[in-house]
Amino acid sequence: MLQTRSFAESRILHKRDHNGHNEEHPPDLDLSVLLGNVYNELVDNFRYVAMILFSQNLQLCPYEEQVQRVKYVTELAEICSRGVLRGECGQSVMTVLVDEMCKKPENAEKYPWHEGCCGKARADRYACFLEHRLTDPDAIPAYKIPEASEICKSRSADKDAFLLNFVHEAARRHFRMYAPALIAIGHNFDDITEECCRDAATSSQCFSQKMPAHVTQLKFVSAVQKHNCYILDKFGERALKATKLIETCQTFPAASFKNVHNIVLGIAHQSKTCCGGDVMGCMIERLKLTTKMCEKKDEISSELKKCCDKDTIERSSCVAQMENDEIPADLSPHVREYIEDPQVCKHFADEKDVHLAKFTCDYAKRHPKFSIQLLLRISKGYEDLLTKCCAEEKSHDCLVKGDHELKKEIDSGKSLLKMTCDTFGQLGPCLFKDKMLVKYTKKMPQVRDESLLKITTGITTAGEKCCKLPAEKQMPCVDGGLALVIGEMCEKLPANFSNEKVVHCCSDSYGNQRPCFFALGPDEKYVPPKLSVDSFHFTDALCSSSEDVAHKQQTFLIHLVKHKPHITEEQLKKVITEYEAMKEHCCKAANHAECFIIEGPKLIEKCEGLIGVQAAAHLHA
């Protein structure tokens, strides 16, 4: 679990220093955490944030139970907001909320850890809850969207309860999603519902048209925020700040470095708070940061006004989703001063981090078509160049000569993008995915089937979505999408994972993850297992829905490569042809299952002849 939890816990459950703030806080984001003061900050949104905290930590509790908790703490907070400081009103908001979660014994079968967590010292209880969150995607059944008539009836009966229930269902499944984003997506769902429920005759069609994009957006925002926490946890605050610096400079190329720097500090601090599980602090920091940005909107971007005119929740969501501004006409196309300035080594020696940040920001402003990951590699290349050249007597000559190394990094990034999109265009999504499955199974055969399927699905989705975009948007789209997929896979690797090259790609450099995986060859240390009884399962499920059949075929492909990692493309084509012939034959037979029992072993024998795999004596159906 995230190491940053201790930061959040100390922030919300311990007294502040004598100046009233923690030294790690940006001064303009200093918060009061007393229950009543937090309520005054959030007002109507308080109950939604409370619901999010309860639902993200007691994920198996029904809505009816959670809403009683929300009702109690909201009524108490409203009383405290009038200036009352005695009793619970003198406690931090998180102390009161955790007290509420511990008020009554929970079902020991659902939460065997509950009593132990609540019995800990007050400062340790919430960290214990965070450690026991359900992380398995299958732990909570997928949410089934009700019929249109039922949705419209529920909203009409009680709009507030309708929205609160949506927030509950989303929060319990997306336990790392930030409260501001969950509430904003809840409001978006409410807007869709309001529009679709105007006409009962077309409501079903309306929901069918609008809900897929809504669900996709929910999953994407959740994945991005989870990825922020992954960067923070695995690569540290400096790496997270670097990614947010690039993102902010690309979005607001007219903003001064001072304004960008303050925004990045705010985002990084908010991310630590949100990733640490401080739901209330996360909400307040996001709103305060957005307010600060809106106060300086004329200095940052002319486009900010559209967001700043909205209410607080919509404003925050709007800012987070802003497209990049146009590059200002007066912005010089090059940043040669970072190579040619005679004082460059002095700047690097005096203020290394500031100098590198200014270079990275100036480069990002001029190259919105470059991905964050490529710009991180360029920034690292520039740092390495300065480290090398500034130690030499003729540093200027060294810098000028070394400049071509940065250009090589750019060419490499462009080449990788072109190769991906060209291959996708030639093969189409199905064959492209099969090719990626074979390629990545050879690279990391120790990875579980589900993870291999997920990463290759992600690569295919990126190709499908991004390669048809305008050229200037392709690289950020492809690299950004693949970063999410690679990050999720790396996060799930066991501590003792045997493939050292994969571990290196996961842990060495965030910006270099994709090129590192791309450059991996087959794992030469891998010893393939002998074909066993449980290696392949051919059943009548191969004759079911097309989606299930595709999944079965892809799993067959993975197992085949895991048993024969050096299989050639020609051998693979022959095996797939035999596999398809068997499937077609058995799916036409009167008894599918019996046919597969007979034909399955025959297919493995043919594989033995084609690729030299020793077949097992018999095969499970």
597's enclosing H/E stretch is: helix 592-611
Q: How far apart are CA 457 and CA 437, in angstroms?
A: 9
Which residue matches tokens 């809900």?
Answer: 211
Helix segments in 322-371, DSSP class H? 337-340, 344-350, 352-366
| Residue (of 218, 239, 217, 219) closest to 228 by Cα position | 239
- What's phi and psi for 34, nearest 5 deg? -65, 145
Q: Note whether 69 and 53 are within 8 A (CB).
A: no
| Residue (of 41, 304, 70, 40) closest to 167 by Cα position | 70
Which residue matches tokens 């009816």?
Answer: 64
Q: Note whether 369 and 472 are within 8 A (CB).
A: yes
Q: Per the structure block, which two tokens stand in for 445?
A: 């055969």
Check whether 158 is labelled as a binding-site residue: no
Instruction: Point out which residues pair with 92 in neighbouring strands.
Output: 34
Q: How far apart are CA 602 and CA 618, in angstroms?
A: 10
Q: Note whether 234 and 490 are within 8 A (CB).
A: yes
Rounded (5°) CA angle 449-454-455: 105
Rounded (5°) CA angle 607-609-610: 65
Q: How far apart are CA 185 and CA 167, in angstroms?
A: 9
Q: Note whether 375 and 359 are within 8 A (CB).
A: no
Q: Which amino acid would we find at residue 61?
A: C
Q: Note whether 585 and 599 are within 8 A (CB).
A: yes
Q: Note whether 285 and 31 are within 8 A (CB).
A: yes
Task: State whether residue 92 is helix, strand or coil.
Answer: strand
Instruction: Point out which residues pair with 34 in neighbouring strands.
Output: 92
What lies within 8 Å, CB to CB, of 215 at 6+ separation is: none
Q: How far apart are CA 165 and CA 153, in angstroms?
A: 14
- What's phi and psi for 268, nearest 5 deg? -65, -45
- What's phi and psi for 423, nearest 5 deg? -65, -40
82's enclosing H/E stretch is: none
Q: How far apart are CA 296 and CA 308, in angstroms?
A: 10
Q: How far apart are CA 546 and CA 39, in angstroms?
A: 52
Annotated binding site for Ca(2+): 278
Annotated binding site: 278
Annotated binding site for Zn(2+): 278
